[in-house]
A and B are shown apart, each in its own frame.
Chain A
Amino acid sequence: MGLVVEHINKSFAEFLVIKDLSMEVKEGAIFGFLGANGAGKTTTMRMILDILRPDSGRIAWNGKDVRQVPRRNWGYLPEERGLYPKMKVEELLIFLARLNGLTKVAAEKALDEWLERFQIAANRKRRVEELSKGNQQKVQFLATILHDPAILVMDEPFSGLDPVNANVLKEAFLEMHRRGKTIIFSTHQLEQVEELCQDIVIIHKGQTIVQGSVQEVKRQHGRNVVRLKLDNDPEARWLDTLEGVQVTKRRQDYIEMRIQAHLNPNLIVEAALQHDGIISRFELVEPSLTDIFIEQVGMIDLLDAPSVLSA
């Protein structure tokens, strides 16, 4: 069943921020929640967590309204990071874990395990403000997962992390995934989405514009992109005259072009041979999520005026 969001609407003052948004997250999946800045990701996440309530619509976890789901099932990593700077790491994490429903003993046990895994056990007696930024991020992440929640909602978990710490976090993600947790996260680093997520949704101005598994989404928005390299003719100017072919990049290592959906890519090979080209590279490429994202969000941006409800 997982998490089901059905037709939710939310407005602040007279601005309609979320418009009839629906999505479904399978239990145990890693789910990418994408959208440009101000698209309504944080608001939606807060509604999923029952911090804000939608004006209409329904959000349910395994068939149960989120308002009835015990708090310890949720782990939330907000976009704006915040901890009590004066508290000791250990005290802070145990306080938050207990507030999320753990007993003191269970909180201490979980803390021992995770501090070790994150290699910050040496810092447990230090004040949060004395830690490096990377270590503070780790503590913040621990605050989200220490109470062993079933659903993790993470707003931009990778922002501001160096590659080493990003990797530690990625490992933790996969560990949580192995333990059967459902992970919903938003990010602007779409390579991570391609690497980690099974399903995604892209929202724009409070509305769902793209939804499905990463494979499906790519197929739906698949144009045929071809990369070609000719050893004796790096420019291959004749490509510009071909009907249904549009060259997008002329790089040193290859030429990238889009061909129309009905066109057989073999035509390119034939044309290259006709021009006595020596082919050293020919590949059909899937469009990246970045391309799809820019295309979808950028396109709508041109058409849409700000949505205002008549008060």
Chain B
Amino acid sequence: MSKKPKDLPEQEQRAIAVSLGGAATQHTWRNIGLIVGREYKNRVTQRSFIISTIIILLLVVIGAFVPTIIQYFTSTSNVQTKIVVVDNAGPIAGLDGDALARYIGTALNGTAGTNAPGQNTSGKPPFAITIQTSNALGSLQNQVKNGNLNILLVLDRPTNQDVYFTYYTNANATGDTNLSKVQALAQQLNFLDIAHRLGLTPAQTSRLFAQPGFTVVNTGQGQNKRSESEMVAGYIIAIAGNILIYIVIVLYGMGVAMGVAEEKGSRIMEILVNAATPFQLMVGKIVGIGAAGLAQMTCIVAVGIGALLLQIPLQAALFGANGGGFTLNITGASITLLLLLLVYFLLGFLLYATLYAAMGALVKRQDEVQNAVAPLTSLLVIGYVVSFFGVYTPDATWMKVISYIPFWTPTTMLVRIGANGVAWWEIPFTIALMIVAIFVCAWISARIYRYGVLMYGQRPSLGKLAKLVRMK
């Protein structure tokens, strides 16, 4: 026999305005499980979900292949920059005629290449170099003017002085990428030439080019023995993870809000609240949609990584050993960061999804959802934007403070970790803070939710909401 409400204090009796679920709480886990199952299945079998997943997967695969395809086309194309070198300066650094042409070809094309036909089977080198004599100068200048010749390079030596270079082109100066390459070549030739005339041996000259021994010792806090490439990988994972977190929270948070509004709109909510508590409905919806989102993301990321890994053998087959290009270099540090990405991603989604659910419960119709969730989206955007400053100042005080605020923790902490700017304790600390925040928000949202799900009138004011939340 239950206690009669008459025996309860008057205040408590008045306070119970909306049911917390009473007897339905007996089957919390069973009910949540059923709702999660329905939400998940409903979402992944939706035609729009399947189509959008396929489109994204196609884009990801195309994106992964684009660099290889571009490289393939440039290497097989017949576009060649023709350069005629007129050497009025005599031997430069002891190089003359063919030897000079070979040297210039090596410097510009990266491999030994003159204009000899049939030398390169997988395509012609970007520059074709010809040495001509000075008496053809006038007609060569005309050829440059007409566009028959791309570049004319004239080498002069004013009475036993340093080599003087004259560069003829009809290309637009601002868009001429060849100019800098030829300039670099001229600098190199001049250097060699002077060294030669000073009587240095080739060995001595190459010593002049050698890099000095140079080690950076950083004594700053939080810096550990991570290599340069690990740092770069860290940045990339942090930034990419940030974008992923942002997109997923907006996308699926909206999905949660829409789902709640849809149940309200179709009035099935009235049947559901009879069978399950508002809390069970909310948790079931969030977990179900979250699981569908996670499955979609996992699918996209897995296909993306797979497509990228496919580029290595593909490029090797197309361009041989010197294909170079993409190499995936995942080290231990990157794996830790990836795991943290997953943790912050899940926590961030749960935190925002509870609030999105509450917002969805407060609207009357689905088309009002967009407006209702706008403040939440703004909140997320702040953390997203701030995180990009975190790349440069990962251990500034203001940055630390922001990264401790649960709403902004996922995005900002990731970047700070990526930039190697956190003390070890900050990670468990922020995770704990987020978990606390999730419980607080879930509690508040559940209260708003159970009030909102059967309310079809005016959207309540902020003050009214606060009163609702305080209500037992």
User: Which residues of A are at the interface with B, using a C-beta cutoff of 8 A?
Assistant: 46, 49-53, 55-58, 63-71, 74, 76, 78, 80-87, 95-96, 98-101, 143-144
Rounded to whole Å, the gap between the CB of B109 and the closest CB of chain A is: 62
In the complex the two chains form, is A78's CB within 8 Å of B2's CB? no
The chain B residue with its CB closest to the CB of A59 is B5
User: In the complex, which of the residues B38, B263, B274 contacts A51, with contact meaning CB atoms closer than 8 Å?
Assistant: B274
Given contacts A50-B19, A51-B273, A68-B2, 14 further A-B contacts (CB under 8 A): A50-B23, A51-B274, A52-B17, A57-B5, A67-B2, A68-B22, A69-B23, A76-B270, A78-B267, A82-B269, A82-B271, A84-B268, A96-B271, A99-B272
In the complex the two chains form, is B4's CB within 8 Å of A96's CB? no
In the complex the two chains form, is A84's CB within 8 Å of B266's CB? yes
By a CB distance below 8 angstroms, the chain B residues around A57 are 5
Chain B contact residues, majority secondary structure: helix
By a CB distance below 8 angstroms, the chain B residues around A143 are 271
Within 8 A of A (CB), among B323-365: none
Q: Whole-angstrom distance between the alpha carbons of A74 and B273 in the complex?
A: 12
- Asked whether B172 is an interface residue with its Cβ less than 8 Å from the other chain, the reply is no
By a CB distance below 8 angstroms, the chain B residues around A63 are 1
- Asked whether B18 is an interface residue with its Cβ less than 8 Å from the other chain, the reply is yes
Of B16, B263, B269, B271, chain A has the most CB atoms within 10 Å of the CB of B271
- Asked whether B34 is an interface residue with its Cβ less than 8 Å from the other chain, the reply is yes
Within 8 A of A (CB), among B16-70: 16-19, 22-24, 26-27, 31, 34-35, 38, 42, 46
Rounded to whole Å, the gap between the CB of B49 and the closest CB of chain A is: 11
Sample of 21 A–B contacts (CB below 8 Å) = A51-B19, A51-B274, A51-B454, A53-B16, A55-B17, A58-B4, A65-B2, A65-B4, A67-B23, A68-B22, A68-B23, A70-B23, A70-B26, A71-B276, A76-B274, A84-B268, A85-B266, A86-B46, A95-B38, A99-B34, A99-B276
The chain B residue with its CB closest to the CB of A67 is B22
The chain A residue with its CB closest to the CB of B10 is A56
- Asked whether B14 is an interface residue with its Cβ less than 8 Å from the other chain, the reply is yes
A-B interface contact total, Cβ < 8 Å: 94
Of A56, A67, A70, A99, chain B has the most CB atoms within 10 Å of the CB of A99
Q: Whole-angstrom distance between the alpha carbons of A146 and B47 in the complex?
A: 30
By a CB distance below 8 angstroms, the chain B residues around A80 are 267, 270
Interface residues on B, range: 35 or more
By a CB distance below 8 angstroms, the chain A residues around B266 are 82-85
The chain B residue with its CB closest to the CB of A140 is B271
By a CB distance below 8 angstroms, the chain B residues around A87 are 42
Rounded to whole Å, the gap between the CB of A108 and the closest CB of chain B is: 15
Q: A53-B18, A67-B22, A143-B271 are in contact. Are A46 and B454 (CB under 8 A)?
A: yes
The chain A residue with its CB closest to the CB of B15 is A55
The chain A residue with its CB closest to the CB of B17 is A53
By a CB distance below 8 angstroms, the chain A residues around B6 are 58
Q: Whole-angstrom distance between the alpha carbons of A76 and B23 in the complex?
A: 15
Q: Whole-angstrom distance between the alpha carbons of A63 and B17 in the complex?
A: 22
Q: Whole-angstrom distance between the alpha carbons of A197 and B282 in the complex?
A: 39
By a CB distance below 8 angstroms, the chain B residues around A55 are 13-14, 16-17
Within 8 A of A (CB), among B122-153: none
